[in-house]
């Protein structure tokens, strides 16, 4: 068992760290957070760095990287800017169905454009009446000649307002069991009948989450990914990587909280003594470090399992629960270490407090992940 990063991984981690230092200064992050503004320029820089297509094959314009590479990128980006990590996720993870299940033409049409920042993706599974029970979705796609006609609504779709394409899951066969009658479409957001409306939210400002209304939207048959009625398999593969991505983003967030807590504890004095010398503060920060190390190891192991083609549905759920709950708990402790300043908008700690909560919900709630783990154990 080798716990060392390879030379190439160390170089990548350092390059992303340098990138973040240059493009994600505290001032830039704060301005985008306050204005809930999408960082178009920084997205362009991610494309120039070659990281948007890190997990896509070189022949389609990607960098041919693996799950461990993308894990390191998420971790380093989120150490500086959590919302940028989610924005990066929309390029690196949402279109993965094309890499695994797409036709040759779909790969040629989309992957290079994603890698070079021209095409932006969103992933639309959730509906107003189907969140945790995602396969119960009701958006309906009916075949008419060479097209499908789609009607329905999606909700909480991250980045739909800036996306050119949406990986949209719809019901193509209502006569079979709920998981078997679904297909994934590559919806062009300029299509007639598509209406997108952002929903204001607590955190991850800069990437808006939206409702999508679909009224008689026509999608060419050639934009079905992975075959008709095979959509659930595409979803499962995407969600496995999403859980890795969430683990990696959360450990980046945890590290940012620890860095800020240590800096503050060493600077802030009470009666001439730095609060970092108080055992209560030391133990809080030590607990943050213990949990973060554990979350990092679990996440790196999941990346290794994906890279070695091992079945990992249970491990993906373990990572999703542990890393998200760790980040939320540590963010809460971070606010406590900073005391009253932790509660003000002047310090970044409040942002972690707001940003961390989504990870216990999005990508499958903690309750649903515990259910997956229990079922995999034969319960
Ligand atoms: C900011 C944000 C961004 C998002 N981005 C996307 C996106 O880009 N694409 C997308 O498709 N979706 C997205 N989602 C949706 C997200 O994946 C869902 O919110 C999530 O799957 C939970 O579904 P729900 O909110 O409908 O909760 P519900 O399913 O309504 O659950 C409500 C509560 O009941 C619990 N519960 C439900 N069923 C069970 C059960 N069987 N056993 C035990 N407890 C249960 C849940 O754990 C939860 O606590 C996003 C959500 C948010 C908030």
Domains recognised in the chain with CATH numbers: 7-115 (1.10.540.10), 121-229 (2.40.110.10), 233-376 (1.20.140.10)
Q: Are 137 and 130 in contact (CB under 8 A)?
A: yes
Integer-rounded Cα Rg, in Å, for the chain is 21
pLDDT of amino acid 70: 98
Say whether 147 sits in a helix, a strand or coil. Answer: strand
Instruction: Provide mean pLDDT across the span 82-110.
Output: 96
Q: Does the pLDDT of residue 305 top 90, yes or no?
A: yes
Q: How many angstroms does the Cα of residue 369 sit away from the middle of ligand 1?
A: 11
pLDDT of amino acid 244: 98
Looking at the chain, the number of H-run helices and the number of E-run strands are 12, 10
In whole angstroms, what is the distance from residue 284 CA to residue 157 CA? 36
Q: Which atom of ligand 1 lies at the shortest distance from residue 367's CA?
A: 47
Residue 61 CB–ligand 1 contact under 6 Å: no
pLDDT of amino acid 2: 87
Q: Which atom of ligand 1 lies at the shortest distance from residue 365's CA?
A: 47
Q: Shortest CA distance to 174 belongs to which of 182, 162, 166?
A: 182
Residue 87 CB–ligand 1 contact under 6 Å: no
* Residue 284 CB partners (closer than 8 Å, separation 6+): 261, 333, 336, 337
pLDDT of amino acid 95: 94
Q: Look at the pTM and tell me if it is higher than 0.85.
A: yes
| Token pair for 273 | 């003594």
Alpha-carbon dihedral sign for residues 69, 73, 79, 84: negative
CA separation (Å) from 328 to 280, 332, 365? 20, 6, 13
Residue 367 CB–ligand 1 contact under 6 Å: yes
Q: Does the pLDDT of residue 299 top 90, yes or no?
A: yes
| Token pair for 324 | 């998200």
Residue 129 CB–ligand 1 contact under 6 Å: no
Q: Does the pLDDT of residue 284 top 90, yes or no?
A: yes
Residue 201 CB–ligand 1 contact under 6 Å: yes
Above pLDDT 70, what percent of the chain? 100
pLDDT in tens, 307-348: 999 999 999 999 999 999 999 999 999 999 999 999 999 999
pLDDT of amino acid 112: 97
pLDDT in tens, 226-278: 999 999 999 999 999 999 999 999 999 999 999 999 999 999 999 999 999 99
In whole angstroms, what is the distance from residue 286 CA to residue 42 CA? 34
In whole angstroms, what is the distance from residue 147 CA to residue 84 CA? 35
pLDDT in tens, 147-197: 999 999 999 999 999 999 999 999 999 999 999 999 999 999 999 999 999
Residue 220 CB–ligand 1 contact under 6 Å: no
pLDDT of amino acid 270: 93
- Ligand 1 pocket, mutate which of 170, 325, 365, 368 (most atoms under 8 A from CB): 365
Instruction: Provide mean pLDDT across the span 32-51.
Output: 97
In whole angstroms, what is the distance from residue 300 CA to residue 286 CA? 21
Q: Does the pLDDT of residue 114 top 90, yes or no?
A: yes
Residue 1: band (very low, low, confident or very high) from pLDDT cuts 50, 70, 90 = confident
Q: How many angstroms does the Cα of residue 362 sit away from the middle of ligand 1?
A: 6
Residue 135 CB–ligand 1 contact under 6 Å: no
Residue position matching structure tokens 């554990």: 294
Q: Are 155 and 92 in contact (CB under 8 A)?
A: no
Distance of CA 41 to the CA centre of its chain: 20
Residue 158 CB–ligand 1 contact under 6 Å: yes
Q: Are 172 and 148 in contact (CB under 8 A)?
A: yes
Residue position matching structure tokens 């060493």: 266
pLDDT of amino acid 245: 98
- Ligand 1 pocket, mutate which of 90, 94, 130, 156 (most atoms under 8 A from CB): 156
Q: Which atom of ligand 1 lies at the shortest distance from residue 133's CA?
A: 29
Residue 132 CB–ligand 1 contact under 6 Å: yes
pLDDT of amino acid 155: 98
Question: Using alpha carbons only, what angle is made at residue 70 by residues 67 and 310, rounded to the nearest 5 degrees?
Answer: 10
Average per-residue pLDDT for the chain: 97
Residue 203 CB–ligand 1 contact under 6 Å: no
CA separation (Å) from 43 to 122, 157, 224, 239, 284? 15, 19, 27, 23, 35
């Amino acid at each position: 068992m080798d716990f060392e990063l390879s030379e190439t991984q160390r170089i990548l981690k350092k390059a992303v760290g340098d990138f973040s230092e240059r493009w994600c200064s505290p001032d830039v992050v704060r301005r985008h957070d306050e204005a809930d503004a999408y960082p178009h320029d920084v997205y362009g820089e991610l494309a120039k760095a070659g990281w948007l297509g890190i997990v896509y094959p070189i022949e389609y314009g990607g960098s041919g990287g693996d799950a461990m590479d993308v894990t390191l990128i998420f971790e380093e980006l989120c150490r500086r800017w959590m919302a940028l990590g989610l924005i990066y996720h929309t390029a690196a993870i949402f279109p993965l169905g094309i890499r695994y299940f797409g036709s040759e033409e779909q790969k040629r049409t989309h992957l290079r454009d994603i890698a070079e920042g021209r095409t932006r993706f969103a992933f639309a599974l959730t509906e107003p009446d189907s969140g945790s029970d995602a396969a119960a979705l009701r958006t309906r796609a009916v075949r008419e000649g060479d097209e499908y006609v789609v009607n329905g609504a999606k909700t909480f779709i991250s980045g739909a307002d800036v996306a050119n394409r949406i990986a949209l899951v719809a019901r193509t066969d209502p006569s079979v069991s709920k998981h078997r009658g679904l297909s994934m479409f590559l919806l062009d957001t300029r299509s007639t009948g598509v209406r997108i409306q952002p929903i204001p939210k607590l955190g991850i400002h800069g990437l808006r989450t939206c409702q999508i209304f679909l009224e008689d939207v026509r999608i060419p048959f050639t934009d079905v990914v992975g075959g008709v009625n095979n959509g659930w398999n595409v979803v499962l593969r995407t969600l496995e990587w999403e859980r890795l991505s969430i683990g990696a983003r959360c450990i980046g967030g945890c590290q940012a909280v620890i860095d800020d807590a240590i800096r503050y504890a060493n600077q802030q004095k009470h009666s001439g003594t730095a609060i970092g010398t108080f055992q209560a503060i030391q133990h809080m920060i030590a607990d943050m470090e213990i949990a973060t190390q554990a979350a990092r190891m679990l996440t790196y192991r999941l990346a290794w399992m994906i890279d070695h083609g091992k079945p990992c549905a249970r491990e993906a759920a373990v990572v999703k629960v542990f890393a998200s709950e760790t980040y939320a708990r540590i963010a809460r402790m971070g606010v406590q270490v900073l005391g009253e300043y932790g509660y003000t908008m002047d310090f970044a700690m409040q942002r972690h407090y707001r940003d961390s909560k989504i990870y216990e919900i999005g990508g499958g709630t903690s309750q649903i992940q515990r259910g997956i783990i229990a079922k995999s154990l034969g319960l």
